Structure 1
Amino acid sequence: MSDHVCQEGCRHHSHGEDSPEIQQEFQEGRRDFMRDFAVGGVLASAASLGISSSAFGQTMPKTGLTSGHATHYYIPASDKTVSWGFFSKSLKPVVELESGDFATIETLTHHSNDDASLMVKGDPGAESVFYWDSKRKNVDRRGMGPMDHKLGAGGGMGVHILTGPVAIKGAEPGDVLEVRIVDVALRPSANPEFKGKTFGSNVAANWGFHYNELIEEPKKREVVTIYELDATGERNWARAFYNYRWTPQKDPFGVVHPIVDYPGVPVDHSTISKNYNVLKNIRVPVRPHFGTMGLAPKEADLVNSVPPSHFGGNIDNWRIGKGATMYYPVSVAGGLFSVGDPHASQGDSEMCGTAIECSLTGTFQFILHKKADLPGTPLADLQYPLLETQDEWVLHGFSYANYLAELGPDAQNSIFSKSSLDLALKDAFRKMRHFLMQTQNLTEDEAVSLMSIGVDFGITQVVDGNWGVHAVVKKGIFPGRDV
């Protein structure tokens, strides 16, 4: 058991090694890091590096999991457990857990008010977060901007609803936190008319890559498309329900929003025209994932949730879903993990500015790798967010690997005008070169050749200020090699 002291909205229970629930979660989510890869020219397993790939119940050295027991926390999304639009090293954790523990965490999309009748009304957690009348809103600050901003507190300088933070006991700068995504589930609509359904919103927005390239009139337009999904799991595709063009919306405080410029503004549906004849007979594959997930950075007290960086954050890679594992370098004590920006589906590049923004609940396991144990392992000198899936390793390059440090005091403003795919590709190349030389013991010449013939570079996103390019290498190209 950890030293956790329950706060409002937090529930937890402890599971032993014989618990069917925890056994199933563990087995489904477990990933053997660097499974069957070569170190120093010889085949090595994850276990030989001191990184356990054992079944649940066996002691996992240096993970804090002892006697076959782990604590499983449940963290609902409410106005007491979320921050809106920023990461912060100064936030008080909603829970502190031990390495090896699990947490099931609810996340809400900040676009729920695009149709509150489908995504907010009747849902107590969502209602508590989105509550806003003429006198107050439950979550006032939305972004890291000034509290007296003309658009609203925080200025919308950061938009994502983040549940957390979760502290990991003993995490210190220089450590690496492994986050295993055990499960991901859609959050059902509370509207009784749509029992068993889930809804999400896609906004072709003013910050989208497409916005200045429109050919039909009116060329300066923002379009919201609401998608319907099956929350029961019987259907693995989404369909467009209807769309509408954004019209100026007056928020409950009387501020008019001519464009989508502040998160969570409730849309008055009497002011819009709904088009139900949209994307007919088109099935969009559902691949739920978390667009924004990471640790608190050390460089500033409030960090805009939009640009991703060395600490993770708004990476917007659809591969960060069930069965995947993320590795993050720890920058501050406790790590302070937060997660949000849930997506039902997204393509590489997130071209129009958003995915299908759809509330999800995730189950995670947290494994802490101490700095002293990293030398000689693939996690040594890890300075960037690393993704592992069953078949691939994925590295994330950004226009600026650590824009907060590289761009100076005005970094959180200037990043939005300085990004380019050239810079992001260069960063992805440098990280993949490091990865291949570090984990596969390749020379630089070998790594460069392999990158050209065996690594796929793709555009992760072009809408998050700090643009992203991901590099994907298949695990299958590293069977046992002769010395």
Structure 2
Amino acid sequence: MHTSRRTFLQKTTQNGLALLSTGSLTANSLDQLTTDTDQTAKLSATTSSAKPDYVVRSLPENMVYGYYGADVPPVAKVKDGDVVEIQTVNPSGVSRTNPEEFYTKNNLPIDQHAKEVIAIMKTVKSEPSGIRGHMLTGPIYIDGAQPGDSLEIRILDLTFPAGFGVNSVWPGGGGIPDAVTTRETFVYRYDAKRKMASLKEGVDIPLKPFMGVMALSPPADMGRQSSIPPNFFGGNLDIRHLVKGTTLHLPVSVPGGLFTTGDGHGAQGNGEVSGVAIETAITLTVKFIVHKGKALKQPRAETPTHFIAVGLDKDLSKAMKNALTEACAFIKDELGFTFNEALSIASTAVDFEVSQVVDQTLGVHAMIPKSIFTKKKFDYWS
């Protein structure tokens, strides 16, 4: 899976130009390219509006199947402050033995993106020790990031390279595992104009794309870790508020940070209660900013309207307690209140939401509204 920097840059140059060349297409011209029934082709023509310094393609050599680790070779090395476009894939419903079958069975085109997914499923190997998880792109080495720093990840854009997503239910999975008796996979088709995902006639879900997994490497002494449970270094947080224009902050544990992402979601309710969201391929464009000496214990996030504190644990009640602890610490340390004042503010103005209940380690996030702090001004990039 290791790709030299030279090889990576060559492939970026060769393949990235074709991708970026569609950026001049307007919404009207996209409509003219296809009929209203061909939403897959319509959405596959969209690209990010943010111009990247680097493009990491969804090629087999740039993928890692289900894990992070300090020993995983980076597929790219970028600078502090660089804008990076990262292509991810969604193999949900696609088998390793006959990956083409999923597309033909569901009347989906085997276009360039589908061919990349098929190649990935046929060639990218699982972790030898048996660790399982998501199909991920990375890792990416950020020059200057060192243990004890934090990495700011500005989410500049999220676009769909394919016009559909997949949700599934299965026995033993989700929030009510004993209630599910049969496995079933649902294909949600996207309407680019209306920005909706349709399960069937009369059921339209607003598309609000975000990445389920955004992680840095765990410390070297933790070895390789599965991408399924989230942790202090990020990972499968499944916080649906991390859409375009928001920010994630993660603690750096190894030189270069080693950022890895995947598990794109077209839409998800808090809880992710079936076990998965609308699983989808997403092209993520981010800006990496290293904060020297800014140590974090847990992930933090920010939107134009809220600060987000994160609590994680295998026990949901403990995850809630951890989220409250993190929220109070943020209000106290970052905003200048006493602990008792912070707890009072958390009780009267902060919403605590269940991120997900299905990823072994469960998540609760605290939504701290900026608007209540009327004497403070919060500058924000988006």
TM-score, L = length of structure 2: 0.81
1:316 is aligned to 2:238: yes
Maintained 8 Å contact 2:5/2:75: no
Aligned position for 1:34: none
Q: Deviations over 1:170-204 (max 9, x none)?
A: 2110001111111110112xxxxxxxxx1111011
- State the AA in 1 paired with 2:333: Q
Aligned position for 1:31: none
- State the AA in 2 paired with 1:237: M
Relative to structure 1, the CA distance from residue 477 to residue 145 in structure 2 (aligned partners, 3 Å threshold; closer, same or farther) is farther
SS of residue matched to 1:345: coil
**Alpha-carbon shift at residue 222 of structure 1 (Å):** 1.9
In 2, Cα distance between equivalents of 1:95 and 1:163? 11
Match of 2:197 among 221, 238, 242: 238
SS of residue matched to 1:11: helix
Q: Deviations over 1:209-229 (max 9, x none)?
A: 1221x2xxxx52222111101
- State the AA in 1 paired with 2:136: L
Match of 2:176 among 193, 196, 210: 210
1:223 is aligned to 2:184: yes
Aligned position for 1:280: 201
**Alpha-carbon shift at residue 429 of structure 1 (Å):** 0.9
In 2, Cα distance between equivalents of 1:4 and 1:120? 33
In 1, Cα distance between equivalents of 2:80 and 2:197? 36
**Alpha-carbon shift at residue 121 of structure 1 (Å):** 2.9
Aligned position for 2:55: 74
In 2, Cα distance between equivalents of 1:10 and 1:446? 54
Could you say what the CA RMSD is over the residues aligned between the two structures, in angstroms? 2.3
Match of 1:100 among 81, 85, 89: 81
Aligned position for 2:94: 113
Alignment of 1:191-202 (within 5 A): 198-202=163-167
Aligned position for 2:133: 159
Relative to structure 1, the CA distance from residue 423 to residue 360 in structure 2 (aligned partners, 3 Å threshold; closer, same or farther) is same
Aligned position for 1:251: none
Relative to structure 1, the CA distance from residue 317 to residue 290 in structure 2 (aligned partners, 3 Å threshold; closer, same or farther) is same
Aligned position for 1:87: 68
> How many residue pairs are counted as aligned between the two chains?
328
Relative to structure 1, the CA distance from residue 284 to residue 72 in structure 2 (aligned partners, 3 Å threshold; closer, same or farther) is same
Maintained 8 Å contact 2:271/2:356: yes
Relative to structure 1, the CA distance from residue 10 to residue 475 in structure 2 (aligned partners, 3 Å threshold; closer, same or farther) is farther
Match of 2:330 among 435, 438, 458: 435
In 2, Cα distance between equivalents of 1:88 and 1:140? 16
SS of residue matched to 1:398: strand
SS of residue matched to 1:203: strand
Maintained 8 Å contact 1:392/1:472: yes
Aligned position for 2:248: 326
Relative to structure 1, the CA distance from residue 324 to residue 120 in structure 2 (aligned partners, 3 Å threshold; closer, same or farther) is farther
Gaps of 5+ in 1: 14-20, 23-69, 132-137, 147-153, 189-197, 241-278, 375-380, 400-418
**Alpha-carbon shift at residue 102 of structure 1 (Å):** 0.9
Aligned position for 2:210: 289
Larger of the two Rg values belongs to structure = 1
Aligned position for 1:256: none
In 1, Cα distance between equivalents of 2:361 and 2:234? 12
In 2, Cα distance between equivalents of 1:158 and 1:110? 14
SS of residue matched to 1:226: strand
Percent of aligned positions that are identical: 32
TM-score, L = length of structure 1: 0.64
Maintained 8 Å contact 1:5/1:95: no
**Alpha-carbon shift at residue 280 of structure 1 (Å):** 3.4
Relative to structure 1, the CA distance from residue 145 to residue 78 in structure 2 (aligned partners, 3 Å threshold; closer, same or farther) is same
Relative to structure 1, the CA distance from residue 109 to residue 446 in structure 2 (aligned partners, 3 Å threshold; closer, same or farther) is same
SS of residue matched to 2:188: strand
In 2, Cα distance between equivalents of 1:71 and 1:226? 31
1:446 is aligned to 2:367: no
Gaps of 5+ in 2: 15-21, 24-50, 96-101, 378-382
In 1, Cα distance between equivalents of 2:62 and 2:5? 15
- State the AA in 1 paired with 2:215: G
SS of residue matched to 2:6: coil
In 1, Cα distance between equivalents of 2:185 and 2:216? 31
**Alpha-carbon shift at residue 4 of structure 1 (Å):** 5.1
